[in-house]
A = this chain, B = another copy of it.
């Protein structure tokens, strides 16, 4: 079985806390600033819920007729176990840090040099506030 992605582990962890529907997940993600450490678009919440449900790690506990954003999901026993195991492993094992600027630097050979320099100058200005 594939390892849980960061987005999957994040959503699963929030559902291990207690059952939530998509709209509540979006709210708590926003409130806690989760996007400061996990890439998680609004639409990908539902994509991730679907993937976790297909793997049997969460299950819908509301009526099937509700609007998609209002169907509550709860972690299953298997979900709790995998969440704990993946969390323990991620605490213990050093892993690469991801930054979009590094993706851009890897791509920058395809840009004219003056555009690379202008982009980085703009970044520096933004960082200095």
Contacts and interface: CB of A to CB of B under 8 A. Distances in A.
Contacts of A80: 110
A6 B98 contact: yes
Interface of A: 2, 5-6, 9-10, 13, 16-17, 32, 34-39, 41, 43, 80, 83-84, 86-111, 115-116, 118-120, 122-123, 126-127
Given A6-B98, A91-B104, A91-B105, 13 more contacts: A2-B41, A13-B110, A16-B107, A37-B96, A39-B98, A87-B104, A87-B107, A87-B119, A88-B118, A91-B116, A94-B101, A94-B123, A95-B99
Q: Lowest 10 A-B CB distances belong to which pairs?
A: A91-B119, A90-B104, A13-B107, A37-B102, A92-B122, A98-B98, A92-B119, A87-B107, A97-B99, A91-B104
